[in-house]
Structure 1
Amino acid sequence: MEISPEVHRYILAALFLITGILHFVKPKLFTGIMPDYIPYHLMMVYVSGAAEVLGGLGILFERTQVWAGWGLILLLVAVFPANINMTVESIQKSGYTSLYSMVTILRLPLQFVLIYWVYWACLR
């Protein structure tokens, strides 16, 4: 039995809404992983959190689903450098074999899975 794209949109919306809200509730979790070359870390955390909340809500409505889907894909691409930075810093601090480093390494390809998931559920 295949689960409909609509169900996937609800799951994705929940993921993006929860993560987006966390940007406002626990901003230090996100400012800590940002590369130094990105200015205004706290403001960028709030902007990306707002984008996640808006995108998560947007994919729930037919009228905004395509725009929100593309916005979430662009957001996932835009935050990828922070994920790379988090991985590099973890490896430098703890080595390749620490559990946290392994999780951050495995998270990198997950970003591409999320991009495809948003595309599949919202844009095809």
Structure 2
Amino acid sequence: MSWDLLLMSIMYVFAGAMHFIKPKAYVKIIPKFLPQRRSLNLLAGAFEILAGLGLLFPETRTYAALFIILMLIAFLLIHFNMLRGEQFSLGIPRWILILRIPLQFILIWWAYLYI
């Protein structure tokens, strides 16, 4: 297994775990028009953990990478929502929020390498 695949796996498992460790921060950035925001947060975290673990096994790697791509595309909604104003940004500087958008496409490309 390559170091970058292991790094990607660790990154998504960690990110998913943070949904359970700091749920309030994640619920705050989920757009209010989405129902059941607490449940959506926990579901997203669980799926992120599963996808990260799925990258470790050749039998599930392609499915995990595809899911990560779809998840990152869906999460663009949250990134754009955070740009709507200070009340949505969690105090994160605007320039960081803007940089996160192209980062999503880099992460999508990285996951694509494992399809």
Question: Same fold per TM (> 0.5)?
Answer: yes
1:1-124 residue pairs with structure 2 within 5 A?
6-90=2-86, 100-120=93-113, 122-123=114-115
Structure 1: tracts of 5 or more residues without a match: none
Amino acid at match of 1:86: M
Dislocated runs of 4+, deviation >2 Å:
89-93
Q: Does the C-alpha gap of structure 1 residues 40 and 111 become closer, same or farther in structure 2, counting only changes over 3 Å?
A: same
* Deviation for aligned residue 1:88: 1.8
Aligned-residue CA RMSD (Å): 2.0
* Deviation for aligned residue 1:6: 2.2
Give CA-to-partner distance per residue, 1:88-122, whole Å, 9 cap, x none.
Answer: 223988xxxx97111001111111110001111x1
User: Following the alignment from structure 1 to structure 2, what is the Cα–Cα distance between the partners of residues 114 and 82?
Assistant: 16
Give CA-to-partner distance per residue, 1:8-35, whole Å, 9 cap, x none.
Answer: 1101111101100000010111111111
The percentage of aligned residue pairs carrying the same residue is: 32
* 111-120 vs 82-91, greater mean Cα deviation: 82-91
User: Following the alignment from structure 1 to structure 2, what is the Cα–Cα distance between the partners of residues 99 and 43?
Assistant: 24
* Cα pair 2:51 2:64 within 8 Å, conserved: yes
Highest Rg: 1 or 2? Answer: 1
Say how many residue pairs are matched. 114
* Cα pair 1:20 1:51 within 8 Å, conserved: yes
Structure 2: tracts of 5 or more residues without a match: none
